[in-house]
Amino acid sequence: MKRIVMKFGGTSVSNGKNICNVANIIRKNSKKGHEIVVVVSALANVTDQLIEAANKIKSGKEENIQKFVNKLFEKHISVINEAIKSEKIKKETKNKVKKVIEKLEKILKGICYVGELTLKSKDQVVSFGERLSSIIVSATLNDQKIESQHFTGKEAGIVTDSKFGEANPLMNFTTQQVINQLEPLLEKKIIPVVTGYIAADQDGIITTLGRGGSDYTATILGFVLNVDEVWIWTDVDGIMTSDPKIIKEAKTIDGLSYGEAAEMAIFGAKAMHPRALEPVIKKHIPVRILNVFNPESKGTLISEGPEVESKEVVKAIALIKDVSMINIKGAGMVGAPGSYAKIFNILGKKNINIMMVSSAVSEANISIIIRRNQIERAMSTLEIALLGNNSGNEVSYEDDVCVIAAMGANMKGSMGVASRIFTAVANKNINIRMIAQGSSELNISFVVKEKYGSLAVNAIHEEFKLNK
Amino acid sequence: MRIILTGYGVVGQSLIDIFENQKFENLKKYGFNPKVVAITDRGGAAVNKKGLDLERIKKVKTREGSVAADKKFGQPQAIAQSIIQSTEAEIMIEATSTNVVNAEPGLSNIKTAFNSGKHVITTNKGPLALAFPTLTELADHNKVLLRFSGTVGGGTPILEFAKKCLSGDKINEMQGILNGTTNYILTEMAEKRVTFKKALELAQKLGYAETDPSMDINGIDAACKVVIIGNWIFNKKFTLKDVKVNGIKNITLKELNNATKKGKRIKLIGSINGKPTVAPKEIRRNDPLCVSGVLNAVTFISEYAGKQTIIGRGAGGIETAGAILRDLLDIKYNLANRMLL
Ligand SMILES: NC(=O)c1ccc[n+]([C@@H]2O[C@H](COP(=O)([O-])OP(=O)(O)OC[C@H]3O[C@@H](n4cnc5c(N)ncnc54)[C@H](OP(=O)(O)O)[C@@H]3O)[C@@H](O)[C@H]2O)c1
C-alpha cells in the first residue's frame, strides 16, 4: 500500500468521457489499496476563457457577463450529463455548479462596475475553473461508488503569502492545516479531490500559485502528507528524448534526476516547472509522469538515487525555435570591467529575457540569444545605449537561428561529450554559430541556422543512440 | 531607434529624405540608426514594426496621396492615437498641421505618446502654444522627454542658443522677428513701395506665404513662438491667450515711409519684457535685429553676456527637419546616459 498524490491536467478532464476515464484510474489504484489524494486542473481551456472574459468585462458591458456565464454553465452541465449516471447525484452536482457560477457572476459584475481588474480579483476569477472541475470529478467518483469529497486549495488548508498571481506557500502553516483537514479522510479511505493552482493567504483571500500551477499543488500536498509518490497524469507517455514531431524515433525516457527534469523544463520540454519540483526534492519523493490515455505504460520516473543511474550521457535533445541572436562587437563596451553586467542590466530593464550568452574575450565579442518577438526592442535599446561617441561598438543580429540543447546529468565531468556532439553536427556540414554551457553543466546548448535545426537534432539523437 | 512620425507633409517628408540620404555616412558616426515604424497622415497610417521601407512609402504617398494606400503595411482610416498607443517605439515625431483653436490632432497625439512611454519631438506649435505648461508637466510625470527645436526659427537653433549657450546666465529680455512671411511682406513694402496686397500676392507666388496666410498676417504664428520662448527660456507659465497680439494688416505705406525717414524700419516684433506681446514696432536700421526678406532674428539681453542676436532662415522643410535631427540625437544621448547609469 502506498500513499499517492495524483494530479490530472486539463486535457484529462476535458469532457465527460475523459472524466470517467480519470475515475476509472483512481478506482483501480484505490482497489490496490493505495491511499489517494486527487488534484485537478480546470476543464481544458476554461482558465484561459476566464482570464479573457475578466479582461473584456473590466471595460465592457454588463450584458456580456450573462452571455459568458451561461456558456460556462452549459459547458459544465453537459460534462455532468456525460460523466454521471445517478439522477440524484446529477441533480445535486448541477445545483452545486449553479451556486458556484452565481458567485462568479457576482464577482464579474463587481469587476465590471469598478472597471478594474487587479491581480487580486483576477485570482478570484481564475479560481472558478478548478472549483467547478473538482466538484464534477468528486461527484463522478461518488457516482462510481468511490467515496470522495471535494475541496478548494483553501479548504484543504494551503496557505500562501499575498503575492497574488504567483503566491508562495507558507509550508509549516500549510502542513498543520492540511493534516487536520485531509488525514482523517485518508484514514477512512475517502478520496479528497483538491483544486490545483489555487490557495488562500492568511486572511483567507484566494491566491494562485502561478508558474508550476497545479503540479505545484500536487507536490505541496505530497510534501505535507509525506506521500510515497506524486503522479502527474498528462496526455503523453512521459518525457520524450526529443520532440516526436522532429524525430520519429523519439522515445519515452524511463528515468530522470530532479536536476535533469528541471533542466528540461527550462528548455521548454513538456515537463514540470522547476518550482513545482522544490517540495519533492526536499523530501526525496519520486514523481511519475504518466499518460491518462495509456495508463499501462510506465511513463517517466523523476527521482534521485539508484533508479535513475544510467550510462547515457545525453538523455534528451530540445530544439528551441523563435529565437534571435544578437552579436555585440567592439573595444569600447566589451571586455571593460562590468560591461557584460551593463548589457544584461540594460536589456533587463526593458523586460528582455536573455536565454543564452557566450563570449570570446579575445575578439571583444559577445553573443546573446533572446526570444524573436523581442528583437526589435532589444536592437533599438542596444543601439541607443552602445553606439556613437566614438565607442567603436557594433551591434547586429540574425533572426533565422535556433537553439539546440542536449541534456543529461552524466555530462558532468564526462570528457568528450561536447566533442561528440559537435562532430556529429559538423559531419552534416552544419555550421555552429554559437556555443554555451549552462552553469549547471547539465546541458550543452548551441546555435545553428534554423533551417538546419532538425537535421542537427537528428544527428545528435543518432550519435547517442537515443532511439535504442 | 524606433520612430513614429505623425504628419507626412513638407517637414515629415524632408526628415525622411535626410534619413534616406545620410543613412550610411553622417548618421553612423553618431551611433544613430533611425527605424521609422509608423507614419500617419490624413488618410490613415503605414505600420511595420520591423521598420518601413521609406523609399517605397514615399512613392506610395506621391502616387496615391496617402501612406495608408500601401498594399502591405497600409492601414486606411487608422486613427493616429491608436497607432501611437499600440506601436512599440522610443520616439514620436509630431508634424501635423498647426491648429490654434484646439491644437488637434497634435495635442492628443502628444498626450497619447507620453501615456505610452514615448519621447516626443514636435515641430507643430499648436499644442505648445495652447498647453505648454500642461505638456511639460505630463512629460515629467511620464518620465519622457519633450523637444521642439523646430518650432522656433525653423533650422536656426534659437532655442538651443538661449537654453544651452547662455546656460547659467540670466536672460532678462527677448525681442525678435519670429515670422518670415510677414518680414518678407514688410521688406517688400518698404523697399519697393508696393501695397500690402501686392506684397502678399508676391509672397504667395514665391511660396513664402500659404494660401490662407491669416496665421502669419495676424501675428498668431509669432505669438505661438513667443509662448514657447517664454515658457522654455524664461520659465514663465502662460499660453497663447495671454499674449497681446497685433498683426501687420493695417500697416500703410505712409507709416513705412515715415520710419524710413527716421533711419528706421517697421518690423513685426515678438517680445518678452514684462508682458508677452507681438506688434509692429520701429527698429533702427543698423540694429542687428533689423534683417530683411524671409530671415528671422532674435535678440536676447542677458545679465552677463549682454546683447546677443542670432539670425537665420526661419522656416523651410529641410531646415526644420534638420532641427528634428538635432532633437533626435539629443534624446539618443540622454537615453544612453540614462541606460548606462
Ligand atoms: N514647413 C515649415 O517650414 C515649418 C517650419 C516649422 C514648423 N512647421 C510646423 O510643422 C508642422 C508640419 O508642417 P508642414 O509644412 O510639413 O505641413 P504640411 O505640409 O501641411 O503637412 C501636414 C501633415 O499633417 C497631416 N495632417 C494635417 N491634419 C491632419 C489631421 N487632422 N489628421 C492627421 N493628419 C493630419 C497632413 O496629412 P495629409 O498629407 O494627408 O494632408 C500632412 O501630412 C506644422 O505644424 C507646421 O506649423 C513647419
pLDDT digits (tens, 9 = 90+) for A73-100: 999 999 999 999 999 999 999 999 999 9
Please determine, for residue B79, whether its predicted confidence score (pLDDT) is greater than 50.
Answer: yes
Query: Do the bridges between strand B295-302 and strand B171-177 make them parallel or antiparallel, or are there none, so unpaired?
Result: antiparallel
Three-state DSSP at A436 gives strand
Interchain proximity B29–A388, CB inside 8 Å: yes
Count Cβ–Cβ pairs < 8 Å, chain A vs chain B.
47
* B149-170 tens-digit pLDDT: 999 999 999 999 999 988 889 9
> What nine digits make up the cell of A180?
487536520
d(CA A432, CA A382) in angstroms, rounded, equals 24
Please determine, for residue A118, whether its predicted confidence score (pLDDT) is greater than 50.
Answer: yes
Interface ipTM: 0.86
* Owner of C-alpha cell 513685426: B268
- Which of A95, A108, A101 is closest to A70 using CA atoms? A101
- Which of A150, A202, A212, A157 is closest to A179 using CA atoms? A157
* A242-273 tens-digit pLDDT: 888 888 888 899 988 898 888 887 766 667 88
Please determine, for residue A343, whether its predicted confidence score (pLDDT) is greater than 50.
Answer: yes
- Which of A303, A315, A310 is closest to A269 using CA atoms? A315
d(CA B40, CA B94) in angstroms, rounded, equals 10
B12 lines ligand 1 (CB under 6 A): yes
Q: Give the pLDDT band of residue A363 (cuts 50, 70, 90).
A: low
Distance between Cα B94 and ligand 1 center (Å): 9
Instruction: Provide mean pLDDT across the span A182-205.
Output: 96
Count other C-beta atoms under 10 Å from residue B117's C-beta: 12
Interchain proximity B31–A349, CB inside 8 Å: no
Ligand 1 pocket test target in B123, B211, B326 with most atoms within 8 Å of CB: B123
Count other C-beta atoms under 10 Å from residue B56's C-beta: 14
Single-letter code of the amino acid located at A154:
K
- Contacts with A292 (C-beta within 8 Å, 6 or more apart), sequence order: A8, A11, A12, A18, A21, A22, A25, A233, A234, A235
Å from B117 to nearest chain A CA? 12
Instruction: Provide mean pLDDT across the span A452-468.
Output: 91
Please determine, for residue A307, whether its predicted confidence score (pLDDT) is greater than 50.
Answer: no
Q: Which runs of consecutive H residues, i.e. helices, occur in A59-86? A: 63-83
Distance between Cα B6 and ligand 1 center (Å): 9
- Which of B225, B223, B216, B224 is closest to B277 using CA atoms? B223
- Contacts with B305 (C-beta within 8 Å, 6 or more apart), sequence order: B166, B169
pLDDT of res. A66: 93
Render the burial of B191-222: b for 16+ CB within 10 Å, e for the rest.
Answer: eeebebeebbebbeeeebbeeebebbbbbbbb
Q: Please give the DSSP secondary-structure letter assigned to residue A351.
A: T
Contact list in A for residue B332 (CB cut-off 8 A) is 384, 388
Q: Which residue of B has its CA nearest to A381?
A: B1
Q: Give me Rg for the CA atoms of chain B.
A: 21
* A309-322 tens-digit pLDDT: 566 788 889 899 89
CA-CA-CA-CA dihedral for A371, A373, A376, A379, to nearest 10 = 0
Q: Where are the beta strands (DSSP E) in B107-206?
A: 119-122, 146-147, 171-177
Query: Model-level pTM greater than 0.95?
Result: no
Q: Which residue of A has its CA nearest to B26?
A: A388
* B217-247 tens-digit pLDDT: 999 999 999 999 999 999 999 999 999 999 9
- Whole-number average pLDDT of chain A: 90
* Owner of C-alpha cell 549657450: B165
Q: Is residue B1 a contact partner of residue B34, using CB atoms and an 8 Å limit? A: yes
Please determine, for residue B81, whether its predicted confidence score (pLDDT) is greater than 60.
Answer: yes
d(CA A55, CA A67) in angstroms, rounded, equals 15
* A8-30 tens-digit pLDDT: 999 999 999 999 999 999 999 99
Interchain proximity A380–B90, CB inside 8 Å: yes
Residue scoring higher pLDDT (A444 or A339): A444
Q: Which runs of consecutive H residues, i.e. helices, occur in A323-430? A: 339-349, 375-386, 417-426
* B12-38 tens-digit pLDDT: 999 999 998 876 567 778 889 999 999
What proportions of chain B, in percent to the nearest 5, are helix, strand and coil? Answer: 45, 20, 35
- Which of B194, B110, B184 is closest to B147 using CA atoms? B110
Instruction: Provide mean pLDDT across the span B300-329.
Output: 94
Contact list in A for residue B27 (CB cut-off 8 A) is none
Residue nearest to atom 18 of ligand 1 (CA): B9
- Which of A306, A315, A325 is closest to A402 using CA atoms? A325
- The residues of B assigned a catalytic role are 225
B123 lines ligand 1 (CB under 6 A): yes
pLDDT of res. A389: 74
Q: Is residue B243 a contact partner of residue B223, using CB atoms and an 8 Å limit? A: yes
